Amino acid sequence: MTPLDIWTYVIVGSTFALYIGIAIWARAGSTSEFYVAGGGVHPVANGMATGADWMSAASFISMAGMIAFNGYGGSVFLMGWTGGYVLLALLLAPYLRKFGKFTVPEFIGDRYYSQSARVVAVISLLVASIVYVIGQMTGIGVAFGRFLGVSYEMGIFAGMGIVAVYAILGGMKGITYTQIAQYIVLILAYTIPAIFISLQLTGNPLPQLGLGAEYRPDGVPSGISLLAKIDQVVTDLGFKEYTTSMMGSKLNMFAYTMSLMIGTAGLPHVIIRFFTVPKVADARYSAGWALVFIAILYTTAPAVGAMARLNLMETIQIGPVGEETGNLLYTERPDWFERWEVTGLLRFEDKNNDGRIQYYDDTNPEFAARAAEWGWQGNEMVRVDNDIMVLANPEIANLPNWVIALTVAGGLAAALSTAAGLLLAISSAISHDLLKGVLKPDISEKQELNAGRWSMVAAIALAGYLGLHPPGFAAGTVALAFGLAASSLFPALMLGIFAKRMNNTGAIAGMITGLIITLIYVFQHRGIMFIPGTAFLEPLGMSPNWFFGITPEAFGMIGAIANFAVALVVSKFTAPPPEHIQHLVEDVRVPRGSGPAPHLSAALEH
């Protein structure tokens, strides 16, 4: 074992011991105040816990990598996954808290006085959550692959086992203090390497300012800003300019951001947290505090991405572009390079057999022609998986071993906490909403619990299997999940509060329309259930992103618009909701009289 391996085992092991220790300690005193979510949990503490719940492998492991390789285009993730909290806080959280139910399908079932509406909501929830878990599995595969020094596939299998144990031990989830510990591990693991690297490159310890500062490698002024330097380094090798490169068209970026925002407000495992705060006013503030803690990571991520990109380019292109000695000899590649090659996520192929690494954009015809004159025969970094960037970043920057180890621990904390939360949402949807609520109301509590456990195991197996051939990088896969939530659940929730006249037929028709057209568009591009080879674009003679150039990840906005439109039109031509439902809506709009909050762990068990 190398010193780095030892550090990694020690840090990952002790963070896990910490989470479990807190859980056991908290359980021992069952009357302890933090166990009762309705009691002593301060909105700030609740916000921190929500932050840990929310920030998943997509935020921690994947997002900065997406930003590193998409530059400005990566902004869709930054805005999408934070701006959604505004919608959540302003349009949903306080009203759903007033309504006072355990699950999202329960709200939809009651508001639309219909078991069918509840079943449609359960299906939407299951589809979105399972896709979301696939994204987590992708991240877990990357982290475990690197951590254990095995292939990505083996990493997924190891991850499946750990997620299963973690989620089935379960109760841990409900304890706010475990999540606070996870948040602290996660945020330290993210910001400490960023501070180190920002100091190295700009002399400014705050990454948020470092990204906008002058480029000063090792303290030597260069006269240009860091961003200008990155633009120069990437365009010198034929890549698109960092600060202006788009993610598809402008319309696509708009739709992408919108899908993520409304998806954020429609995802059940996030909404659930606001059911459990003591008062309606607290639901408003809790969302704000959650966003503060999320923003610490999200405003650091652009610096992490940009600086990782610069360091990666400079590691490989060590001298002037076009000169033979400008490219790194493969035999002299750094240790981190070799370690990532083991996972299969980083791959080099010596196309021109010169023993040196040429990393450039060979899809840029103008630059490829110039490169050919130097004897370059194509980009030799045949695979640089976006998802490795955050984990590899401290290694690339030569940071101390303990920092590298801490990053791995943070990535695992992010992936595991969110995966466990989602699995609980999935199992409660099946056991509580579907079985107990609709299919077999007379099952015992024990049977309900068992059904929940089995559905969790099935969900892990399914997500792990599908995660072997993920439809995209972790953040891209998770984006698909958001699109599905955006197109199905968000409109029904929002109309349920803001449109008194909305009736059961309208809401059901809307949800089904939104979900189905989004699923069709996604499966058409990425395969049915993401199984390779089942995409059906070509058989229909369609080109990718045929709908106004919108990518499947961004299609949630279109699905949501269709949902709203169908719901409003259908409800206009069908009978209005009964009197007592209209009173219910009036009542939800006023904070006074909200009942006591359900116990958080009860809400999660249900």
Partner 1 sequence: MRAEMTPEKRKEYWKSNLRLLAVLLTIWFVVSYGFSILLVEPLNQFYLGGYPLGFWFAQQGSIYVFVAIIFVYAAMMNKLDEKFDVGE
Q: What is the closest distance, in whole angstroms, from the C-beta atom of residue 276 to partner 1 in the complex?
A: 15
Q: Which of 117, 291, 371, 492 binds partner 1 (CB under 8 A)?
A: 291
Query: Minimum distance between the CB of residue 83 and partner 1, rounded to whole angstroms?
Result: 5
Query: Could you tell me if 328 and 88 are in contact, meaning their C-beta atoms sit under 8 angstroms apart?
Result: no
Q: What is the phi-psi region of residue 576: left when phi exceeds 0, alpha when psi lies from -120 to 50, beta otherwise? A: beta
Count interface residues toward partner 1 (CB under 8 A).
Answer: 51
Mark the segment that binds partner 1 (CB under 8 A) among 9-17, 225-233, 334-342, 528-536: 225-233
Q: Is 72 in the site for partner 1 (CB under 8 A)?
A: yes
Q: Which stretch binds partner 1 (CB under 8 A): 139-147, 183-191, 222-230, 378-386?
A: 222-230
Buried (b) or exposed (e) across 457-467, using 16+ Cβ within 10 A?
eebbebbbebb
Instruction: By CB under 8 A, tell whether 183 contacts partner 1.
Output: no
Q: Which amino acid is at 105?
A: P
Say whether residue 326 binds partner 1 (CB under 8 A): no
CB 117 within 8 A of CB 106: no
The answer to whether 70 touches 245, Cβ cutoff 8 Å, is yes
Q: How far is CA 595 from the centre of its chain?
A: 33
Q: In the complex, what is the shortest distance from the CB of residue 498 to partner 1, in angstroms, rounded to a whole number?
A: 8
Using CB under 8 A as the binding rule, whether residue 85 contacts partner 1 is answered as yes
One-letter identity of residue 335: D
- Binders in 294-313 for partner 1, by CB under 8 A: 295, 298-299, 302
Taking the CB of residue 288, how many other CB atoms lie within 10 A of it?
A: 14
Using CB under 8 A, pick the residue from 90, 329, 439, 461 that binds partner 1.
90
Q: 591: helix, coil or strand?
A: coil
Residue 347 three-state SS: strand
Instruction: Out of 103, 176, 178, 257, name the contact with partner 1 by CB under 8 A.
Output: 257
Interface residue with partner 1 among 10, 24, 169, 590 (CB under 8 A) is 590
The set of residues, in sequence order, having a beta carbon less than 8 Å from that of 71 and lying 6+ positions away, is 234, 240, 241, 242, 243, 244, 245, 306
CB of 253 to partner 1, least distance (A): 5
Distance of CA 551 to the CA centre of its chain: 18
Does 212 sit near partner 1 (CB under 8 A)?
A: yes
Q: Which stretch binds partner 1 (CB under 8 A): 5-13, 397-405, 459-467, 584-592?
A: 584-592
Q: Is residue 537 classed exposed, middle or buried when 0-12, 13-18 and 19+ CB atoms within 10 A define those classes?
A: middle
292 versus 537: smaller Cβ distance to partner 1: 292
Tell me the two tokens of residue 425. 């949402």
Q: Could you give the CA distance from residue 474 to residue 467 in angstroms, rounded to a whole number?
A: 10
Give the one residue of 55, 120, 187, 227 binding partner 1; rule: CB under 8 A: 227
- Nearest one of 533, 219, 207, 570 to 390, comparing CA atoms: 207
Residue 226 or 409 having the CB closest to partner 1 = 226
Strand partners, 384: 346
In the complex with partner 1, which residue's Cβ is closer, 287 or 413? 287
| Residue 243 binding partner 1, by CB under 8 A | yes
Provide the 10 A C-beta neighbour count for residue 296. Answer: 16
Supply angle C-alpha 181, 183, 186, rounded to 5: 110
Site string for partner 1, 466-485 (x = CB under 8 A): --------------------
Helix, strand or coil, per DSSP, at residue 214: strand
Q: Give the pair of three-digit tokens for residue 396.
A: 């690339």
Q: Does 248 bind partner 1 (CB under 8 A)?
A: no
Size of the chain in residues: 606
Taking CB under 8 A as the criterion, the residue among 131, 211, 304, 429 binding partner 1 is 211
Residue of 253, 310, 423, 603 interacting with partner 1 (CB under 8 A): 253
CB 300 to partner 1: min, Å: 10
Closer Cβ to partner 1, 247 or 422, answer by number? 247
Q: Identify the residue among 15, 82, 200, 455 touching partner 1 (CB under 8 A).
A: 82
Distance CA 522, CA 471 (A): 10
The interface region with partner 1, picked from 136-144, 210-218, 324-332, 455-463 by CB under 8 A, is 210-218
Indicate whether 2 belongs to the interface with partner 1 (CB under 8 A): no
Closest to partner 1 by CB, 338 or 586: 586
Closest CA to 270 of 59, 39, 73: 59
Look at the block and give the residue holding tokens 């929730």. 493
* Nearest residue (CB) to partner 1, 536 versus 548: 548
Q: Which is nearer to partner 1, 226 or 397 (CB)?
A: 226
| 330, 356 Cβ separation under 8 angstroms | yes
Nearer Cβ to partner 1 (79/529)? 79
User: With respect to partner 1, which residue has the nearer C-beta, 63 or 416?
Assistant: 63
Is 591 a binding residue for partner 1 by CB under 8 A? The answer is yes
In whole angstroms, give the CA distance from residue 436 to residue 606: 10
- Binding residues (CB under 8 A) for partner 1: these are 67, 72, 74-75, 78-79, 82-83, 85-86, 89-91, 94, 208-209, 211-214, 225-228, 243-244, 250, 253-254, 257-258, 279-281, 284-285, 287-288, 291-292, 295, 298-299, 302, 586, 589-594
